[in-house]
Amino acid sequence: MRVLKSLVLLFLLLVVRGSTVQLNNGGYEDIVIAINPGLPEDHNIIRNIQDMVKEASSYLFNATKQRFFFKAVKIIIPLHWLPKPEYLSVKTESYDKADVIVANPFLKYGDDPYTLQYGGCGEKGRYIHFTPDFLLNDNLYNIYGSRAKVFVHEWAHLRWGVFDEYNNDAPFYVSVNSGEASVEATRCSASVTGKYIVQSCTGNSCTTRECKYDAQTKLYEAGCKFVPDKTQNAPASIMYMQSLPSVVEFCDQSTHNEKATNMQNKMCNYHSTWEVIMNSPDFSNTSPINSTNPPNETSFSLLQTKDRVVCLVLDVSGSMTANNRIDRLYRSAEIFLLQIVEMGSWVGIVTFQSTAQIKINLQQIVSENVRQNLVNKLPTSADGGTNICDGVRKGFEVIKQKYSNLYGSEIVLLTDGEDGGMSSCLTEVGNSGSIIHTIALGPNAAPELEQFSNMTGGLRFYATDTVDSNGLIDAFSGISSGSGNISEQSIQLESIARSVAVKQWMNGTVTIDSTVGNDTFFVVTWDGITSPPDILLRDPKGKEYRTSDFTVSVLNLRTARLNIAGTAEVGDWYYWIQNNHTNSQVISMITTSRAASLAVPPVTVKALMNKDTNNFPNPMVIYAEVSQGFLPVLGATVMATVEPQTGSAVEIKLLDDGSGADITKNDGIYSKYFTSFKGNGRYNLKVRVQGKDKTVRLGRRQSQALYVPGYIENGEIKMNAPRPEVSDDEIQAKLGSFNRVASGGSFVVANVPSEGTTDVFPPCKIIDLEAQYEEDKIHLSWTAPGNDFDVGQAERYIIKMSESLLDLRNSFENATSLNTSSLVLNPAGTKESFQFKPEYFAIKNDTVIYFAICAVDNASLTSEVSNIAQVALFVTPKESSPDGSDIVKNDGVYSRYIYSFSENGRYNLKVCVQRANKTVRPHPTVP
């Protein structure tokens, strides 16, 4: 067991996200860049990826002060591209676990590179997305800068969990320096120079003018862009505008602009990007390298995917007879073989007890007959001990009967028992090149089981013996191909089980949306007598399917299955199922389908926890990403069910409102803290998503590389083409109503006190505090936190204010307090507001007041200090002079700052004045 525990630490990093990246003496190894299988063969993509990463390695090395570089990269080539001698086989790498994906955008929505980030400051991202056009079109250099610089920008998001230093939603802010206020572009560093320009285009003709001020916001008008000077002295920052030639650094403590209204400040408590990087495990585990260049040039491995190869390795030991486990195994594996595993896959079956046995060698699924032949080999009885390693080795043997190695193959390992000999095959498993997905069934499954999936990049599931949770069916339904070919994958639309009393009905609705409908199955299961319940299913056009239309397996007498021919009708399918048994029984409805069209990606759901292992009293976070293609789906109702090893399940509503655990509003990632720990051991996660036609809609990716509007070169404004925008009509394709169910796998919790827990969880940090100054009053608004993070209701608020942002951050308790005795608190997730007339300070021009808030619960536990909101008491310069040089309007004195100096020495000035009778007029003397 000592060997096993050491491997736990070794593979801890893999547990977090599935990434295989390793850091070795400053060099990042095993970076996986995967090309989407939907892309046509183009070897320029491979070549440009290699050029990008090589150049980026040197740029990263210098930007991190000779500390990090890119050492070894793996590029995954699609199966349909013609094989080449230099292409090796994938091992445990796959598209769905790649660090970088290359894929077309959905709806051709631009070529903005972006990194998908679920978590907060310092937490790793999910993946970087580049479009093929970004990699192939050199005309995009003026917009984003070199691909190498963009890659480093996105890598910082992915690896170190930093955020952008620009903000497309809040591009300007008011800053006070030396007692004078000015409107500034949201940027880092603040020393980046440029002009504020509005561009207007009619057809192919565009004109530019300087920006005006908005009387209401006191900022620049809508449509105003900050256009930087091409030639700068500012070396920072890569997270703002990496395209500038002078930019070679991340903002550090000396150059950081804490006043800028960007996500880096909001999420990282106003600390610089470099400070966050310095606090990362990468930084603490490396030292600077004494060299001006990376010690190694980046090496590349080209790996080509192959047909999916899966072997089921199933426990049939004596304990599988308990709690009807062997029957539930048959039922769940049957759904996998008939409905889930993709056409063209190779599948074999092994069973194990004290020894292992091959039930059927690899068969390629080319017809329904092959699927049924595999089902006929599923086990129906159980006896004997448990030898997990023997089962895994026998699974390897099945695969090697067809292939020379195990690379890229998959084992689905299910067991309900313990096995003290598991450590004997850990090294063999780790070196195999095979991916092992684990399913722990019941409370006594080997606690070491998940190490097999952790070390090979496999999925991990846990199913309790609670028969009305469908946990085992959901686990098998979640094991789809990781190839990235979503049109081939089965999608779970419904999975529900209920205990139904005698002669009572289980009624419900399954919505088939327009993105799915092919290969649609309705499956009804029950756990009582072998005869089926009375079933009525009605499609949207009124066609009815009765019990006699369903097929009952000869070997699996408690499952009835209906396969809808062709493409299922779009709309609501209603079902009524009556328990005709003499006793209550658990009845379930499971519905799966596939994409209706290769051209339209289906709505998908990815559910996961922020980590796979947790120590109490640390909270956890549940995430559900709902998307169509690469566009987020907004307005859905998302419910998560967490089932512990002991105790009842907990149901939680996930939100996409930019508060609590949800870092970004309307990004299609629904989130919530989880603190309802019922004890130590395994937990499983299941997410149900419902979209209603009138409320659900598509959104846009929000964290994207900065689209630079243009540059100023030698005093001349050179604008880039306006950023391509998709109209709301285009992006709001008729999504309609939909249902989805997804398993989020399992996680393990330790150190929960056996005698029960006290209140150890404070309210969560408020991250959406906003402030406005209207009619001599200051209005504050935020989303209410809970008693325990974002659940329940806080007891009171502490609101502070200061004229110094950093004093408020660093010495919150010493700042001026506001009287909040009149504030009535609301439950978590409710919008709170508070307004007051300033009495604590004299209102004067050119002043910025900063506000922050803490919440306190009934156990006197206090949240972290919120994000900091600001109110600017500021009279904007006159419209005639946005740069502020003309201090008095209509006084006959015309002014303009001059700052386009090309060299030292003398300059001469010439002024031309033209009088036009219709516009010129005398004016009284200005006092």
Q: What is the DSSP letter of 645?
A: S
In 3-state terms, what secondary structure has residue 23? strand
The two structure tokens encoding residue 669: 């990632």
Q: Is the peptide bond before 885 cis (omega within 30 degrees of 0)?
A: no
Q: How far is CA 201 from CA 206, 716, 882, 921, in A?
A: 4, 18, 22, 33
Q: Is the peptide bond before 922 cis (omega within 30 degrees of 0)?
A: no
Spatial contact of 625 and 641, defined as CB atoms under 8 Å apart? no
**Enclosing H/E stretch for 564:** strand 559-567
Distant-in-sequence, close-in-space partners of 141: CB < 8 Å, separation ≥ 6? none
Report the alpha-carbon distance of residue 244 to residue 146 in Å, rounded: 10
Report the alpha-carbon distance of residue 159 to residue 101 in Å, rounded: 15
The two structure tokens encoding residue 904: 């030292």
Strands 299-304 vs 88-89: parallel, antiparallel or unpaired: parallel
Query: Which of these, 34, 42, 70, 38, lies nearest to 54 by C-alpha position?
Result: 70
Report the alpha-carbon distance of residue 167 to residue 254 in Å, rounded: 21
342 is catalytic: no
| Beta carbons within 10 angstroms of residue 457's beta carbon | 21
Residue whose token pair is 């000396």: 254
Distant-in-sequence, close-in-space partners of 918: CB < 8 Å, separation ≥ 6? none
Spatial contact of 492 and 740, defined as CB atoms under 8 Å apart? yes
Q: What is the DSSP letter of 95?
A: G
Out of 41, 86, 93, 154, pick the active-site residue. 154
Size of the chain, expressed as the number of residues it contains: 927
In 3-state terms, what secondary structure has residue 924? coil
| Beta carbons within 10 angstroms of residue 358's beta carbon | 16
Query: Which of these, 261, 124, 423, lies nearest to 872 by C-alpha position?
Result: 261
What is the SS3 string spanning 791-805? ECCCCEEEEEEECCH
Residue whose token pair is 């893999």: 14
Spatial contact of 359 and 398, defined as CB atoms under 8 Å apart? no
Report the alpha-carbon distance of residue 687 to residue 718 in Å, rounded: 50
Q: Is the peptide bond before 189 cis (omega within 30 degrees of 0)?
A: yes
Residue whose token pair is 């949306």: 513
Q: How far apart are the first and last CA of the chain?
A: 90
Residues of the chain by 3-state class (helix, strand, coil), percent to 5: 20, 35, 50
Report the alpha-carbon distance of residue 575 to residue 369 in Å, rounded: 29
Spatial contact of 149 and 737, defined as CB atoms under 8 Å apart? no
Query: Which of these, 440, 438, 414, 469, lies nearest to 681 by C-alpha position?
Result: 440
Residue whose token pair is 């091959």: 358
Query: Which of these, 581, 588, 568, 582, lies nearest to 508 by C-alpha position?
Result: 588
Residue whose token pair is 């019990």: 547
Query: Which of these, 46, 14, 17, lies nearest to 33 by C-alpha position?
Result: 46
Report the alpha-carbon distance of residue 299 to residue 6 in Å, rounded: 30
Catalytic residue annotation? 154
